[in-house]
Structure formats: C-alpha cells, structure tokens
A and B are shown apart, each in its own frame.
Chain A
C-alpha cells in the first residue's frame, strides 16, 4: 500500500509541532508535505514582541529549518501560496498551478490581522501607508524594527495583549508611545474595568499615554486623528487591533466555516473527514483560541489521529500571559464571563489587581495585574482543577505573613547534625564549650549563627522556621 499523503497548509507554530509529533511516531508511515507562505524556516511567533523590544535576538527564534524536514523525509515548500483546495480531486493547487495530491489535508493557516476602518491607512495604489505597520509576521517585525531608528513617536492601535506588548516594546526602544483603544478599558476582551484601570495607570507610569473610548478615524500628515477630535502626531502607526482566523481558503473549498473552520473532536472538518484544521484557524466547540499551548495540544491529538490512534481533543485551559518589560499580567480562563464566586483584591496605590473566580471549589478563572507573586501556584491550581478549601481563594490573594521571630524554647533543636537543643546551648559558657560538650556547629555548620545568638543573648529572639 502506498504511504498516506498528508499535506499541511501553513508552516507556523501549530504546523511545526504537528510535524514534530508525526515524525516522532515511528509507526506512522506518512508522506508529509508542508506548504508555508512565509519565506524561511518556521519560527516562534510568540517571541516577536520580545524581538521588537530587544530582549530576544531575531536570530534565535527559528524552530525547525529545512534540515530537520529533510532529515525526516518531509517535503517543505516555503514562500509558497496555496491558491485552491480541490476537494473533489483531493488536490491542493498552488499559486503556480502545481497540484499536490493528498489523502489527508491539514489546514494550519493561522490568523490574519484585521485592518480597522481608518481612512488614509491604504494609499491610492493599494499599499499600506509608509507609516503604517501590521505586527503579525517576522517580516512585519523586521520592517517595524527598520523604521524605529528614524521615529520619535508611535501610536499603537488596539489595547489587547499584542497592543500592550508592542506599546511597551516601542517604549523600551525609546519612542514616545500613545495607545488607542476603542472600548472602555485595556484588555477589554479578557478583564474588567478595574483591572484595565490599574493597567492604564501602570502604563502611564511607564510613560505611555492611553486613550480609551477612542477610535482612530483618519491618518493625515499631522498625525492620527481620533473620533474625539484629538490628533496624535506620530511617525509610526502599528495596528494590533485583533486578528481573525484565516479561513478564505477553507471557505472557497466549501468547508463549513463560522469564525474558524469548524472541526469535531478529532479535529476533522465537519464537512469533509479528509480535511483537518488546528490552531488559530480552527473552531472547536464554538471556540477559537489564538494561543499557542492549545494549538500544541491540538497538534498532539491530531498527530495521533493521523497516525491511527484513538485520540480526541476536548478543549484546553487557556492562560494568557503578557510578555513585556515592566508590565505584569496573567489571565486564566475567561474571568469576565465565567460564572462563580468572585474574590478580588484591588490596590491601585501599588498598581496591583487580583481576582479569582471559583466554582465548586475549583479555580475557573483568574486575573493578576501588577503582582504576580503567586502566578506559578495559581496557574497550577487552575490547570489541575484542584478543589480548594473555603479559605484558600482568599489566602491565595493575600501576601504571605511576615516571618516571626520568637524565643526558642529550651527543647527546640538548633543543631540537627548533632541533635542539640537550645537549652543545651544556653547551658554552655561559650562557643568552645558548645563544641566540646555538644558538637553543635561542627557538622554542616548551619546552626552557627543561631548558636552565637543563643550564647550572646540567651533570652533574646532568634528566628524560627
């Protein structure tokens, strides 16, 4: 029997993980072809804002290059666009009219940025205005980085996660940055007004002005005009106001598409069982995610499905984590729309806001802004669906109590190596006597400070654990 032919459209993070998972399965004898429209090897898109910020070198974001694909017998076509999918013939048609036959087709086309309705963004010749930048691909990132040295001011359009990261990155690069957000507050699709206000305050302290309830309406030579009449003078306009699943190809092929390509629990198109979709372009149980970890979980499941394993995908817990110097945000689940008991602590004075949503003892959603001291633990509890005790949600939001200093009782062990109590140390005249009669301090040496304190100030306070 001929090897089953798998064609993957897209060479982003989901596609790359899928190929890695497939070639790691020695039992899966598949002829894999990957078609990506971006030039060059796949890369970690998550790191683009860090590249922009300068905290991650552009040379260090590549994932797998041609060598990897060659070594594993995978055909990789980069810089190649897919024109059509001929489901009848089971062929992918490339822009140069080449046709790639498939037995299984995987759509990993990701998402594309949406252009907000701002007049002047596009020149009469159909190109973006030279000041205007999208921020989705490595090419976008390089173009923007190229423009930064000659720019003094920038306006970021869109106050979501990406907008905040880009605004911080440009600010770290030394630009004066304004951020324009159409809704009432920052991160409005993830958090409530209070958290948004704290974020806005933090950004203000970091030198970035935030304009909420404001829509950019026109780009002119004077700057970017807002619907409230203000014009923000600027050298750069970066559009981060959201993206949408890239589904044009799927739609033209007659696959059922709502927001994304609608797939079942085996990540198969509900229209055609030979077509799969994963990552940003897929819609599973009415949800599209736009995050990498769910896409990777889907890649693992889909690799299993393609290899003939009985695997299903039943959704992911989502943690959104802002990466930007000086701005600490973590959002778990959907805190604004999840039903449950809410515990929240806001401290605008210190710029922190924390909230957890608990249902049946389980942490179903959370927001942390400004103070992420327990983020590691909260994430674990969220991901593991740990059933918490009644007091725990509150305890999780409070700071640790300060360490106590109390007098050690005579029977407290101060030297574990020699098994010596505080009382025996107190009974000694000096350190030499302690060493001679108890051997305290001669083992690991860890009790030396405590012993000295006990000798010098027998009734005083010493730290306890």
Chain B
C-alpha cells in the first residue's frame, strides 16, 4: 500500500461549486484526490475535476509574450520588458490622442478575487478609464440585479448549498445542475430521501429533470409568465402568507393586482405549460412548510432575465419563504468565481465590496484605500456587450485589454463582436493558451493558471475559499498580478500594485470594509481553518454569515420588495423564416467557451451538436447523427443532429462550448442587467446533406467564412512557439465553424482556448 502523502488542498478550476480537491505531485505528474472534509462537495467530483491536471502538462501553453509583426501579420516571441513597454506606450498614446476612455478593460468571472480587484483598480487608477466590465455580465448579472432590487443585496445563495437537502420543495428554474455542477445533484437525491420534492422547469427534459418529481417544460423565454401564473394560483388558493408579507415586505398589493391577469389558462397559452400543471405546482408550493426556489442561466440569460428572477422572487416572498431557515430564493451562480468576480470592482458600475461607483461615500472610502483623489475616479462605464459593440464607433474604445475571457466564443452575436475586435487599434490578451480571442490579439501575455497560483474565490454559496499553488508555473509565465503591476508602473500609476496575492487580499479586505460584500474579517488563515468563510464578515472576531436575511433584509427599512413585472416575451419570436426557438447551454464534459476542457483528451471533445425532437427531425428530413444547418438572423452553423424526445418539439438546443452557438445568439439586452438574450432566439433548421459530415465549410456559413481572420485583417494567429507537430484534437464531427477557424488560424485553434471565460449555462 502506497503511503498517502498529504496533498495541496485547493479547488477545481471550473464551475462555481468550486469542489474541494487535493493535488499530489509525483515527479512531473500531478494527480487529483478527493478532499472529503470540504463541506460543499464532500469529496464528490465530476470528470472535469478528476481530469483537470491534464492541463498542467499541456504542450500548447504559451510561455513567452507574443507580439504581432505589423509587416508580416504573424506573431513573434518577445521579452517581457519589450512587450510590456510596447503595451504601455501604445495605451498611453491612445489615451493621449483620444482620452482615457479610449482604452477598455475586459475581465472574467473565473479570475480570483485578488485579480478581479486589481483589474478594477488598474482600470480606474492606472488607466483612469470608466470602460471596464467582464463576462460575468453574461452570466448571472440578471440574478444579481434582481437580488439587489428585491433584497437590497445580491449573494447568489443566501444559505449553504446543503440546506436544500432539508427543505420541502425545491424548484429549479432553468438549471441543469446534474450536468453543469454534477456533485450538487447529490443534494437533490438527499432531499428526496428526506421526503422532499424536486421541481424542474426547463424546456428540455435534462439529466436534472430525470431526478425530479415534477418537470415542467415551458416555451423558452416564458419563465416569467410561468412565475406570474403560479403566483396567481397561489393567491387563488389562499396560500399567501399575509402575516409575513405585512411584516417583512413592501409592494405586494400591486403585485397581487397584477397577477390577477395571469390566470392559468392564459399562462398555458403563453408558456405551453398546461393550466392544471400550473395549479398543481401552486398547490405543492402552497401546502409546503419550506420552499426553495433557485434560478440559473436558463431563467436569467434573457432580455427580461432580471424581471424573470423578480417574478420568481415574488412567488417565494408571497409564500413567506425568504429570510427563513431552509427556505427562500437563490441563484446558482455559474462561473468559478462568478460570485466574487462581481463584488470587487471589475464591473462597470462597481467598486470593491459590492459598492456603487456612483455613491460618493463609496468613492471616498475606496480612493482612501488606494491613496488617490476620489474626484479622479472615473464614473460608470459601458456594460460588457455595449462596450464591445462601441469599438470603432465615435467615442468607443480603441484599445482593449482582455483578462480571463474568450470573447470570440462567449459573446452573443459573436460574428459581429469578432468584427468589432478587428476594428481595434490595439488588442492585448492575457491568457495561458492561444484562445480564439488571443489569436486575434496584437500582444499576447502568457499568464499562470489555477494550480500554479494562489488566491481566493467566492463560491456559489458566498463562501470565500482559497485556491493554493500546487505546482510551479512554466518558465516565462507571469501571474496576472505581475502583469498588472508591470503595466501600472510603466503607466506611472499613482497607486501601488502588489504582486503577492495575500497582500492584495489584505488590501481588498480594507477596500471592502463597510461595503455590502464585506471581507474585512476574512483572512487566508481563517479560510484554511474554517473550510471557507461566508461574507459578509466585517471583523476578525465575526463568524461570517452562513445564512442571510433571517432577521432583516438589506434595504434600509429591512424589508424585501415585491416588484410587479410584466411578461414582454423574447425579443425575437419564431416566424415563417425562422420557425423554431433556439436555446443554448452546457454539456457535462465541457466548461464555458470550451476553455480548458476542449483541450483535455480524457474529456472526449465530440464537438457541438444540434438537439431536436423527432417531429422536427422528420419535418426537415434528418436522422440522428446526420448533419443539420442551424440559421438565425445573425449566423449559421452546422453540426450533427441529436434526435431526442426530451426537448420541446418547437425548440432546438445547441451547446455553446464551441465556436458556432454564439454566432447564432441574440444580442438583445436586459434593460436592468444588460444581460444578452443567450437563451432564446428564432432559428431555422435544415438538413445539410450537401457536404460531407463535418470538416468542410458551408458555402453560406457566414459565421465560418466571414469569421476567417484574413478577410478582415491580415493576422495570422499561429504562435511561433507552438510545436509544428501539434494536431487538432477536435473530432471529425467538430462544427464547420470551428473547422474553418482551425483551417484559417492554426491547426490548434479549434481546441485551444482561454481561461475560464465565456458564459455559463
């Protein structure tokens, strides 16, 4: 028996569950072992976690800065000093000619708290630009906006995840957690063993639905109407907790009158969910003592996503569930640091500690920590999609720094966004592989990843946890913190930028002190000792806040707020030319824009597919596995059909881990959260029998052909450092779009990708 050596306790590099794991170093190999004591996953992991160390020995790592040669359009290796000098001087030049806002910064929800904090500080202090936002805007911003409006504060889950095992009814709206965060599904089984019920609301009958007691399959984009219908039936059934409503909320009267127009038969017509099922769900919720409603991207990634969340919050509030033990509303945050990443200042409208950048007291406090004049801090900037959309426009960004995001794959209407990126005068991407976005850059800065670095993450429960360095990074690679410090120094920033994560965290603690997301009392030592600390934690002797709102909500009057919300429906409705709904999401073996996961052989990259109902398959004349073409007003992609009765017959589904899906998606934005409508648009599907399966570009694939870099700007994405023998690991079934990309950019582009960027499903 081999003696088990204590490994490095850290967390999985992927989703917001941030499963605890141990890494063991044996020679050049690093292996994963369970960390049974970590409470959120108790040792359980999915194949993404178990195989995550494969990335550490990846040969496609970039290990030297790359600078595009303007004469040849190809990359050449550069020294760090040269690359940073070049970037700093060009940024300064752009800002001298066009003003501070000519340079924009784009971050990611996978960055550690320390990086996200430093990135926001870098934008505001070193660049003095208001133009900073991140891909979390495309992830859970709708839930964040709604949570803030309803409760006065947004923390994804206001209770530990394990609480769901002890509620009576758990309603999952637009969450496929059995595939997106598999170990979390164990809690569903435990709940059912305890006698509780699971309700899943999703246009697809997913692996999560397989473990539910009730499954409702509404038309994509109608979760809001369903919530209103359920609340109508709750009111009709007399299940409103009036004493709670009177004591702990405001605004119910307007909502009560509003839902009088949402009778079950009308709800049925809008949502496609039978009126009797609406009534039955209301009864189940009304008769339960404890109810938890959780939303995820399926409900949130809509042009009315934040109103959809508010509609479900209304249901939970009317039933008297929020701020009660084993009850309430929560959001299943998506990205690894989706929670922490939205709290510490990489968002266009926020300063560290979840403070508003428009609050004078917040500006003064944070400026004090940074040692700068609050008047010099810029104001609110553009949201993620609007920022990218403004590139090339009058007053729009001319230079862009990207950290931890693979915009080309993860942005909605991605073909348009790629065009915007090509309109930049300077694109700088910090990444650890040649992602599709890095491949378009003028300068690529190679940075550390996951197991090579230390820093805190805040998981979906609001639990601040510690990612620990387990292995040394390759020679030539620097941490994001070092990159930011190097640039800040060259730009003559008036504030210092530390490169030691723990010292950065101590600064973050001071900056967040007194804010809604108060980390002042959290330290690396406490995180280690206590298996994570829940924020808010305002002092060293404060225990942290596992469960929120038990006594009061975070609005000044202590009450939660109802919001009357109306159903407007998706921005784009099916029509004669585009008769089907298209929705997007994730599969178990991949993560986000395919990030790390498409490059891990053990995960088996089978490429994208188009899931459709047998009735639609018969209508368009394709069988399972045959190629289909999906068209929307924005783009086209090709992939094999996956014929299944588990999807609505008026809907098709495409996973978004590969280039393609987001060239189809709609860029209509939520007015409150600025969330794009990833989850529904109108689409047409047809057999693509005019070509061989996979591989070859579609003649009319606007996504593929027009997306080819040389047609827009002669840039070759192939890094000279890349070994010439590297072959694409994408299977022959890869989408035509990625195949085109592969042909145009490099043999590896189809499976090379970025840090945990992209949107979450």
Measured CB to CB, the residues of A under 8 A from B are: 13, 43-44, 46-47, 50, 55-57, 60-65, 68, 292-293, 319, 321, 323, 372-373, 375-377, 379-381, 383-389, 391-392, 395, 400, 416-419, 439, 442-446, 465
B89 to chain A, nearest CB (A): 48
The answer to whether B269 and A443 have CB atoms under 8 Å apart is no
Q: CB-defined interface of B555-599 with A at 8 Å, one 1/0 digit per residue?
A: 000000000000000000111100100000000110000000000
Query: Smallest CB-CB separation from B645: which chain A residue?
Result: A400
Cβ of B615 within 8 Å of any chain A Cβ, yes or no, is yes
The answer to whether A376 and B271 have CB atoms under 8 Å apart is yes
The answer to whether A392 and B189 have CB atoms under 8 Å apart is no
The answer to whether B189 and A445 have CB atoms under 8 Å apart is yes
- Interface of A: prevailing SS: loop
Cβ of B207 within 8 Å of any chain A Cβ, yes or no, is yes
Q: A376-B268, A419-B47 are in contact. Are A62 and B186 (CB under 8 A)?
A: no
Measured CB to CB, the residues of B under 8 A from A are: 43-47, 50, 178-179, 182-186, 189, 207, 210-211, 219, 235-236, 238, 256-257, 260-261, 263-266, 268-269, 271-276, 573-576, 579, 588-589, 602-604, 615, 618-619, 644-646, 648-650
Query: Smallest CB-CB separation from A51: which chain B residue?
Result: B236
The answer to whether A446 and B211 have CB atoms under 8 Å apart is yes
The answer to whether A384 and B579 have CB atoms under 8 Å apart is yes
B186: chain A residues within 8 A (beta carbon): 444-445
Q: How far is the CA of A439 from the CA of B649 in the complex (A)?
A: 35
For chains A and B in complex, what number of residue pairs have CB atoms within 8 angstroms? 139
Residue picked from A385, A391, A417, most chain B C-beta under 10 Å: A417
The answer to whether A417 and B268 have CB atoms under 8 Å apart is no
The answer to whether B260 and A63 have CB atoms under 8 Å apart is yes
The answer to whether A439 and B50 have CB atoms under 8 Å apart is yes
A377: chain B residues within 8 A (beta carbon): 272, 648-650
Q: How far is the CA of A60 from the CA of B253 in the complex (A)?
A: 11
Among A44, A62, A395, the residue within 8 A (CB) of B263 is: A44
Q: How far is the CA of A49 from the CA of B271 in the complex (A)?
A: 23
B239 to chain A, nearest CB (A): 11
Q: How far is the CA of A44 from the CA of B263 in the complex (A)?
A: 9
Q: A62-B260, A63-B257, A376-B274 are in contact. Are A443 and B236 (CB under 8 A)?
A: no
Among B265, B589, B649, the residue within 8 A (CB) of A323 is: B265
Q: How far is the CA of A68 from the CA of B253 in the complex (A)?
A: 11
* In the A-B complex, the 7 residue pairs with the closest CB atoms: A376-B272, A444-B182, A389-B619, A444-B185, A321-B265, A417-B46, A56-B236
The answer to whether A388 and B260 have CB atoms under 8 Å apart is no
Q: A60-B260, A445-B186, A446-B185 are in contact. Are A375 and B268 (CB under 8 A)?
A: yes
The answer to whether B619 and A381 have CB atoms under 8 Å apart is no
B604: chain A residues within 8 A (beta carbon): 419
Q: A63-B261, A376-B274, A418-B50 are in contact. Are A381 and B650 (CB under 8 A)?
A: yes
Q: How far is the CA of A64 from the CA of B260 in the complex (A)?
A: 10
The answer to whether A445 and B185 have CB atoms under 8 Å apart is yes
Query: Smallest CB-CB separation from A379: which chain B residue?
Result: B269
A395: chain B residues within 8 A (beta carbon): 615
Q: How far is the CA of A443 from the CA of B44 in the complex (A)?
A: 5
The answer to whether B263 and A385 have CB atoms under 8 Å apart is no
24 A-B interface contacts by CB (under 8 A): A55-B236, A60-B235, A62-B257, A63-B260, A323-B265, A377-B648, A381-B650, A385-B576, A386-B574, A387-B576, A389-B619, A416-B47, A416-B179, A416-B182, A417-B46, A418-B50, A419-B602, A443-B44, A443-B183, A444-B44, A445-B185, A446-B182, A446-B207, A446-B210
Query: Smallest CB-CB separation from B650: which chain A residue?
Result: A380
Among B182, B261, B575, B603, the residue within 8 A (CB) of A443 is: B182
Residue picked from A321, A380, A386, A388, most chain B C-beta under 10 Å: A380
A441 to chain B, nearest CB (A): 10
B650: chain A residues within 8 A (beta carbon): 377, 380-381, 384, 386
The answer to whether B576 and A443 have CB atoms under 8 Å apart is no
B644: chain A residues within 8 A (beta carbon): 465
Among B44, B47, B265, the residue within 8 A (CB) of A445 is: B44
Q: How far is the CA of A416 from the CA of B50 in the complex (A)?
A: 13
Q: A62-B260, A389-B619 are in contact. Are A321 and B268 (CB under 8 A)?
A: yes
The answer to whether B182 and A60 have CB atoms under 8 Å apart is no
The answer to whether B576 and A293 have CB atoms under 8 Å apart is no
Among B47, B207, B236, B261, the residue within 8 A (CB) of A418 is: B47
Q: A372-B274, A386-B650, A443-B183 are in contact. Are A60 and B47 (CB under 8 A)?
A: no
A373: chain B residues within 8 A (beta carbon): 274
Query: Smallest CB-CB separation from A62: which chain B residue?
Result: B257
The answer to whether B589 and A57 have CB atoms under 8 Å apart is no
Among A375, A385, A387, A419, the residue within 8 A (CB) of B274 is: A375
Q: A44-B260, A416-B589, A444-B186 are in contact. List 5 more A-B contacts (CB 8 A).
A: A43-B260, A377-B272, A384-B574, A419-B604, A444-B182
Query: Smallest CB-CB separation from A373: which chain B residue?
Result: B274
Q: A61-B260, A392-B618, A418-B50 are in contact. Are A383 and B269 (CB under 8 A)?
A: yes
Q: How far is the CA of A188 from the CA of B618 in the complex (A)?
A: 36
A60: chain B residues within 8 A (beta carbon): 235-236, 256, 260
A47: chain B residues within 8 A (beta carbon): 260, 263
B602: chain A residues within 8 A (beta carbon): 419
A379: chain B residues within 8 A (beta carbon): 268-269, 272
B574: chain A residues within 8 A (beta carbon): 384, 386
A43: chain B residues within 8 A (beta carbon): 260
A56: chain B residues within 8 A (beta carbon): 236
Q: How far is the CA of A443 from the CA of B266 in the complex (A)?
A: 41
A439: chain B residues within 8 A (beta carbon): 50
Query: Smallest CB-CB separation from A56: which chain B residue?
Result: B236
A304 to chain B, nearest CB (A): 15
Q: How far is the CA of A387 from the CA of B219 in the complex (A)?
A: 17
The answer to whether A446 and B178 have CB atoms under 8 Å apart is yes
